[in-house]
Chain A
């Protein structure tokens, strides 16, 4: 049954929601027109997201853009004021809580609990028996080189160790959908690398992974699809490739000759920086221009065509202000 449309839906988001998606492909998450207000302030304004099962999907935006509120609505932690969401076809995500694992942005564990007990408790919340949770918790901790944490209290662990324990607790019941809110925040480079590998392994095993981040590189490296969120709206939701394709590739040309008739063949928006010219790849391609340059004896030293990155796409889609906010957030976390 198709989801109904909300009147406050963002048209741009509608167009971009799921480009090139096979309509028969099973979805892990489908949300339309999600709206949330807190004390009259619009926190999320008409968010549309579709995530296919088994995908790694990123929700990309600066701090305060509405990422956490969106995730909370998707998971049923809070209900949207408008719009609908479905997780594995269920309107109420709590009905399938055992299929979902969630790592909130505000990490939370009981400080007096031992590592293995914390994992077992999180498993118990998702339907495991305590004994099973303890057994799996012990196994997970050993496999992640944290045997010492089995009997150690959370309060005696470093922030990174406690965060890993919570992440393992998120996965202990072997969920089919894993939702991670700013999972890389607070981790050092080595642990970020480990987490990236873990996310890839989960996806390889058929688990859908959704994570929010304000660090573009993580989304670019890991995600098949992204939703760009800024000011509570989603101006783009779709594949990373399609986002990058929104900006034409950039041509970088270095010539030996400084003058000549060939200069007239360059696009009007080409800009010169020393011996280099920068301009967007012409819609007709580079071949015709290349012919003119050779015939005009421009003396091509180097010629490179660079595809736009997700960062450029973000600036193009969300605007300079959102990009600056994103960078501020990134800098705050030291990434």
Chain B
């Protein structure tokens, strides 16, 4: 897997997202409360662009009329058919056993470590990096 520099961390604050295009695929990158997640930008159900989806929370229930809301911002809703995907696992909420979007490792690396790459980086800054 190649290392892809997405953006300087300062340009991707919590709640922001980026769509990047490598030679072979499009990837959606999200900053959720300081954690970075990268998934295929193509919904495994119908092909919608997940980087255009709504980030919401997980609604669960232990019986009719009872709502348990957690993990705000960690569930991505596809803009086409509104299927939900868990950013931490890639799995769909409605059919987790059979429907999953591919994930890619995303993290923050110092510019100094990326200096040998072919991207123009400043060694003083940190960057969001995806292994894809």
The yes or no verdict on A and B being binding partners is: no
